[in-house]
Amino acid sequence: MSGLQSLDNFGYDSAIERKEDISIGTQLMPAPDATLLEQYEQLKNGSAFARLDSTVIEITGEDRQAFLHNFCTNDIKGLATGHACEAFVLNGKGKTIAHVHVLNVGDALVLHGVAGIGGELMVHLDRYIIREDVQLTDVSANRKVAFAPGESKLDANAVSFDANANSIQTHVEIAGFGELFIVEPNSAIDGTEVPVEALDMLRVEKRTPWFGRDINDSNLPQELLRDDKAISFNKGCYLGQETVARIDAMGKVNRVLVPVSLESEHSAGSELTVGEKTMGQLTSVAWSPARGSWIAMAMVRRPNEVAGSVLKCGDASVTVIQ
C-alpha cells in the first residue's frame, strides 16, 4: 500500500537559465529560457508531468479515520473510499504544522505533502495514539510522486488504486486541476518529464500555495484563503479547532495570502511596504506566460489584500490582482 509524501521541497532553488535581460528603469526583468517556456506549455496541455520530492505517510488500523479526523481541519470521518480532500494539520494553538492531501484508498489513508515534513508529522500524530488501532508508516522513500495537469477520466477529488501495481492515481487540486500519481520507484508514467520550475510557473498562476514556501508554522489556516477546500466548519472538535472557530466567528484574520503582479523579478522573502510601514512579504515568485509578466504569492496585511491595492518592493510597484 502506498503512502503519500509531502510536497515541501521540489528543488525550487535550482537556477533557471535566462535568455535575455529586459531593462525596466533600474530593475532587470529576465525572460525565462525558451526551453522552460516550452516545458510549461507541455505541462499545461497535459502532455508532460513533473516529479515531486514529496512526503508520503500511510495510516492503517481500524481507527484510522476517527483518529485523523481529530487532528486536521477537514471531515475525514465523512471521506468515502475512493475520494481525497485537502486539510491543514494544526497544533494546539491553531498554527499550521502541515498542509496535506488525505486520500482514502480503502484499507488505508494516505497523507501527501511536501518533502521534509514526514518526521515532524509522524512524531506529532504518534504522540496522540494511546489505545487506538492506528499505525503510521512513512513510505516516502519507497514512492515516486508526479503531477500532471490537464483533463482526467477521474471526477474531482477522486482516487483510484491499483493493488497489483501498488500505485495511486488521484485527481485533486494541487497546481490547478490535474492528476497526482503515487507509484513504486521503477514505475513508468505516461508523458514527458519536465523540471519542477515549469510546474512552479503554473502553480503560482493557479494561486496554489506550497507548505514551506507560502505556508509555515506561523500561519493560521484562514490566512491561506482555502476555507472552502481545506476546512470543515461543521465537524466536531479537533486539535486547534478553538482558534479556527474563534476566527470564523470574528470574521477575519489580520493578513492573507494573495496573488500580485510585479514590475520586475524579485526574490521570495522580499518585503512589501506602504509608505514607511512593512505590510507584507513575497512568498513565491514566478514568470507567468499567461500574463507575460512576473507574478507572485504574497502574504499581506489587511486592508491591502483588496484587488488593485499597490504596495512597494524597493522602488518597484507591486499590485494585488484578482
In this predicted structure, the answer to whether residue 151 has a pLDDT above a threshold of 90 is no
Which of 7-11, 71-75, 212-216, 247-251 has the least mean pLDDT? 7-11
C-alpha cell at 297: 504569492
Q: What CATH superfamily is the domain 4-8+47-208?
A: Probable tRNA modification gtpase trme; domain 1 (3.30.1360.120)
In this predicted structure, the answer to whether residue 177 has a pLDDT above a threshold of 90 is no
Would you state the pLDDT for residue 251? 79
Q: Do domains 4-8+47-208 and 254-320 have the same CATH topology?
A: no
Confidence class for position 156, pLDDT limits 50, 70, 90: confident
Name which residue leads in pLDDT, 18 or 171: 171
pLDDT digits (tens, 9 = 90+) for 5-53: 322 333 323 222 322 332 223 333 456 789 999 999 999 888 999 999 9
Rounded Cα distance, 213 and 216, in Å: 7
Name which residue leads in pLDDT, 65 or 163: 65
DSSP string, 230-249: H--SSS---TTHHHHHHHHH
Instruction: Please return the burial class of 321, using the count of CB atoms within 10 Å of its CB with bins 0-12, 13-18 and 19+.
Output: middle
pLDDT digits (tens, 9 = 90+) for 275-312: 999 999 999 999 999 999 999 999 999 999 999 999 99
- Return all residues near 247 (Cβ < 8 A) that are at least 6 apart: 94, 220, 222, 253
Please report, for the chain, the start and end positions of each structural domain, with discontinuous segments joined by +.
4-8+47-208, 254-320
Contact criterion met (CB below 8 Å) for 178 and 191: no
254-320 belongs to which CATH class? mainly beta
pLDDT digits (tens, 9 = 90+) for 76-91: 999 999 999 999 999 9
In this predicted structure, the answer to whether residue 63 has a pLDDT above a threshold of 90 is yes
